[in-house]
Amino acid sequence: MESKKNSYSLWMLAWPIFIELLLQLLLGAADTLMVSRVSDDAVAVVGLANQIFQAVMILFMTVASGAGILIAQKLGAGKHEDARSVGIMAITISGAIGLVLSIVLYVWAVPLARLFQLEERLIPLARTYISIVGSGMVLTALTASLSTVIRNTGNTKAPMVTAIGMNAIHVLMNYGFIYGAFGFPQLGLEGVAVSTLISRLLATCVLFYLFLSVFERRIAWRDLSAFNRKLFREILKIGWPLGVNMSSWVLSQLAIYAFLAMMGAAALAARTYMNTLESICFMLGYSIALAAQIQIAHLYGAGRKVQAYRSGFRGTWIGLALVGCNSLILLGIGRSFLGFFTTDADIVQLALSCLVLTAVLQPGRMVNMGFGNALNAIGDTRFNMVISIIFMWGAAAGLSYFLGLRLGWGLTGVYIAMMCDEYARGVLVALRWRYQRRKRLGMEAYANTAESSAPLLPSEGRSA
């Protein structure tokens, strides 16, 4: 029992998530680096395609995200059978949605590319990449939902180990297909797409095997058809605002990418390279935010509301300190980093012109992510949804168009717009979390000396 409780300490949750995110980043960086050896046009295509994939992923991530939070709450409350049922429904429903999306992306690859204003000369590359990777969206759905379910049981190591294997296979196959090494045919961007598909298939198989035994009672094949209407309504109650939130973010990003495409392939490629650099800067903070969300949901489900409230602040401040340090490092390595990916002087100069803005953006993003995830963990998902719709479109997308295209500020205008969005939402979610002290979390419990003096979790003081 002590070991199980320790698995919910912030450090024990965060470090495997960090390793997993690092490996995902390396996967993306390896993709970008290797694709850049094909051409900068290929990088632009992959950048836009990934935005399309993120947009359609919302449909199954709505279910997976809501289920993940509910699983942590149910386990915290000791309702293990309910948590098991929620996990099963998350996998089967997400898989069904992913299968439909696979068909749509395979058939509509070209119309989707044209919808987002991709230059006509890049359409053949887009057709190849979107149709191959998109046809495996069912694998993406299963991988994402399996990882979310397993992670929210407190077992953050299993997704991490799976990510290690998936990344190793993907990078080796990328190298083989791009350079014709290891006896692979030299397929260029098509090979990168095939490599992505195969590595995700293998990851899905491993995660599914682990999923079968992640709860107290092992899951049998016949259990996969189980459906509990009451629990499904609980998933949707948490999940649908998360889905709208994710939709707002991804679709606003797609709008921004469409604006960048209007600025030219150089702006699109520069943003893709900078996105990889930003991910490095933000990765530590993001892992803390995700770990804190799992921890807060578990504490809230267990009725330990004072500790849940404190954990929201603690996770955000730790993440903010880490992101602040990384932002300074980002300023130092920016030029060298970009040199690994492209020798095009125009693209490098365009990206470097936004380097300081990128560094300033990250702390605001951390505050937004930290307190936003804390609110999600206790089920207060509608507030995030409302402010996301307002600021992602009014500030991020709206100002990107006005500053970037109408005023001609280009990529610089886009980054200023994103800063306005992140900082505005960061302030609002921080104030909302303080408001929860009196509303949802019932902080009159502070009068209870025994609860107030209780440790956050076993070993929590040593596991920052």
- Does 236 score more than 80 pLDDT? yes
d(CA 338, CA 383): 38
- Does 301 score more than 60 pLDDT? yes
- Does 400 score more than 50 pLDDT? yes
148 closest CA partner among 55, 9, 20: 20
Q: Sign of the CA dihedral 88, 93, 94, 100?
A: positive
Helix axes 411-435, 355-377, angle to 10 degrees: 30
| Residue 124 confidence (pLDDT) | 87
Task: Compute, in degrees rounded to 10, the torsion defined by CA atoms 82, 69, 276, 363.
Answer: -160
269 closest CA partner among 278, 277, 260: 260
pLDDT, greater one: 94 or 343: 94
Please state, for a pLDDT cut of 90, what percent of the chain lies above it: 38
Residues contacting residue 434 through CB under 8 Å, at least 6 positions apart: none
| Residue 67 confidence (pLDDT) | 92
- Does 268 score more than 90 pLDDT? no
* Full-model pTM: 0.79
151-165, 180-194, 392-406, 441-455: which range is least confident on average? 441-455
pLDDT band, very low/low/confident/very high, at 206 (cuts 50, 70, 90)? very high
Token pair of 204, please? 């899905």
Which DSSP symbol is given to 394? I
Most confident of 41-45, 130-134, 279-283, 439-443: 130-134
d(CA 153, CA 91): 14
CA 2 to chain centre: 31
CA 36 to chain centre: 23
| Residue 272 confidence (pLDDT) | 81
d(CA 130, CA 92): 24
| Residue 439 confidence (pLDDT) | 63
pLDDT, greater one: 420 or 445: 420
pLDDT band, very low/low/confident/very high, at 444 (cuts 50, 70, 90)? very low
Token pair of 3, please? 């070991």
- Are 355 and 285 spatial neighbours (Cβ–Cβ below 8 Å)? no
Alpha-helical (H) ranges within 136-264 are 137-152, 157-179, 189-211, 229-263
Token pair of 352, please? 């470097």
Domain residue spans of the chain: 2-442
pLDDT, greater one: 442 or 268: 268
Mean per-residue pLDDT, 221-233: 90
- Cβ–Cβ contacts within 10 Å for residue 463, how many? 17
Mean per-residue pLDDT, 217-233: 90
d(CA 241, CA 96): 21
Q: What is the pLDDT of residues 38-93, one digit of tens each?
A: 777 787 888 788 878 877 888 888 889 899 999 999 999 899 999 999 999 999 99
